[in-house]
A and B are shown apart, each in its own frame.
Chain A
Amino acid sequence: MFVGISILLACQATGELLARFAHVPLPGPVLGMALLAVLLAAIKRIPEGLATTSDALLKAMPLFFIPAGVGILTLSETFRSAWLPIGVALVGSTAIAMTVTALVMKAVLKWRRTK
C-alpha cells in the first residue's frame, strides 16, 4: 500500500514539475497518469501494491469531487439569473457530446470492419 501511494505521488510530482518547467499545457495529475501508463507498459507488469492502492482510490474517486462541488453555494447569484441557459446547455450539451462521440466511434469501428 505504501509502495503504491509512493509511486502515485511520485508520478504526480513529476507531472507537476513537467507542467511547470517543461511548459506542457496539461495538468500535473494528467501528465502523471500518462507517465505511469508509459512506465507500466515498459515494465510489462503492474506491481501488486500499486494495483490494490489504485483500485481503492478509484473506488473512492466520486467522494473527492464533493468539496469542489459544494462551491455551487458561492454562485447562487449567477444561477438565479441564468439557471435556464445553464441548465439547458449542461444537460443538452452533455447528451449531444456523448451521443456524437459514441456514434462516430461506432461508425468508424463498423467502417473499419467492412473495409
Chain B
Amino acid sequence: MEENEVTTLWTTPLPGLLITVLAYVVILRVQAACKGHPLANPVALSIVALALFVGITGVPYPTYFESARFLHFLLGPATVALAIPLARELPRLRALFLPILAGLLCGNLSAILSALWLGRIFGANQQVALSLAPKSVTTPIAMAIADKIGGLPSLTAVLVITTGVIGAVMGPWLLTKLRITDAATRGIAMGVSSHGLGTARVYQEFSEASAYSGLAMGLSGLPTAIFLLVLLTALGLLANGPSPLGTPYTPGLYFPSRQAAAIATSGKDFAKTGAKAPH
C-alpha cells in the first residue's frame, strides 16, 4: 500500500522538483564553502548526487525526468532570455562581425574533427564516434544531427551535457592560461565549445560576455550540421549518402521536444512495468 502511494506521488512534479532544487541549493552552499573551487561545479555535482539518489531509491530515470520536467522546460524560455544580453551588446557585436564569424567557423570545425579523431584513436566504435561529433552544440540540435548521421541521439544528449559541464569547469581556467582577457573572445569560445552550460557559466562570471556566448551557441548549430554532413558524405560514411545541402526536411527532426518525447514514451513503458511490479 505504502509503496503504491509513493509511486503515485512520483507521477506528480513534486518529488522531482523538490529533490532537484534541493540538491542544487545544498551543492551551491557546499561550493560557496569550498570558496568556489572550479572542480566543485554545481551542475556536475548535482547530477552525480541525483543519479546516486535515483539509483539507490530505485526510481526509474524516466519517472524522475517526468517529475522534474518543468525545470527541463524552463531551458526554453531561458534560451530566449539570452536575447536580452544580446540586445544590450548589439552595437559592439556589429563591429566584431568578422572576428566572430572566423572564430565560430574554425571552432565548429575543430570541435567536430577533434571529437571524431580522438574518439576513433582511443577505440570508440563508429556509432559512439558519430554520437560524439556534434557534442559542442546545444542539445536539441546535437540530437537532431546525431540522428541524421547515424549516432545515438540519447547518447548524444548526455555527451552534450557532459561537454557543457567540462567546458564550464575548464573554460575560465583555460582561457586565462591562453591569456584571453577580452570578454567577447571569452564568450564566443565558451559558447562554441560548450553551448548553453558554458553560456550559463559565462553569465555567472561576467554577464556582458554571455551575449557573445549565447550568440555563438545559437549560431553553431547550422555550420556544425553542414560540416558534418559534407565531411561524412566525402568519407562515404553516410549510409544513404544524402546530398548535404539538399537533404529533404524530416518533420520532427529538429524539435527540442524530441528528446523529451522519446523519454516520455519510454517513461510510460517504465510506468507500466513499475505499476506491475508491486503486485
Contacts and interface: CB of A to CB of B under 8 A. Distances in A.
Interface of A: 5, 8-9, 11-12, 15-16, 19-20, 23, 25-30, 32-37, 40-41, 46, 50-51, 53-55, 57-75, 78, 82, 84-86, 88-106, 108-109, 112
A103 B182 CA distance: 12
B86 A98 contact: no
Contacts of B24: 62-63, 66
A54 B136 CA distance: 24
A69 B136 contact: no
A2 to B, nearest CB: 13
A25 B68 contact: no
Given A61-B203, A88-B118, A98-B174, A28 B255 contact: yes
A72 B55 CA distance: 11
B122 A89 contact: yes
Interface stretch (B2-10, B32-40, B103-111, B234-242): B103-111
| Interface residues of A, dominant DSSP | helix
Contact of B21 (A11, A63, A90, A105): A63
5 contacts: A8-B81, A37-B86, A41-B90, A71-B61, A93-B136
A108 to B, nearest CB: 4
A103 B214 CA distance: 19
B178 interface: yes
Nearest to B251: A20
Contacts of A96: 110-111, 114
Interface of B: 16, 20-21, 23-24, 42-43, 46-47, 50-51, 54-55, 61, 64-65, 68-69, 71-72, 74-88, 90, 96, 98-100, 102-104, 106-108, 110-111, 114-115, 118-120, 122-125, 128-129, 132, 135-136, 138-141, 144, 152, 154-155, 157-159, 161-168, 170-171, 174-175, 178, 180, 182, 184-186, 188-190, 192-194, 196-197, 199-201, 203-204, 207, 210, 214, 216-218, 221-222, 225, 249, 251, 254-256, 259, 263
A54 B135 contact: no
B43 A27 contact: no
B104 to A, nearest CB: 7
Given A73-B51, A90-B159, A29 B76 contact: yes
B83 to A, nearest CB: 4
A82 B102 CA distance: 34
Given A65-B164, A99-B178, A74 B254 contact: no
Contacts of A74: 61, 154, 158
A29 B123 contact: no
A66 B71 CA distance: 8
A65 B197 contact: yes
A5 B80 CA distance: 10
Contacts of B43: 62-63, 65-66, 69
B157 A68 contact: yes
A103 B168 CA distance: 18
Contact of B189 (A8, A9, A58, A98): A98
Contact of B78 (A64, A84, A109): A64
Nearest to B212: A105
Contacts of A90: 115, 132, 135, 159, 162-163, 166
B210 A58 contact: yes
A90 B66 CA distance: 28
A94 B222 CA distance: 18
A67 B188 CA distance: 26
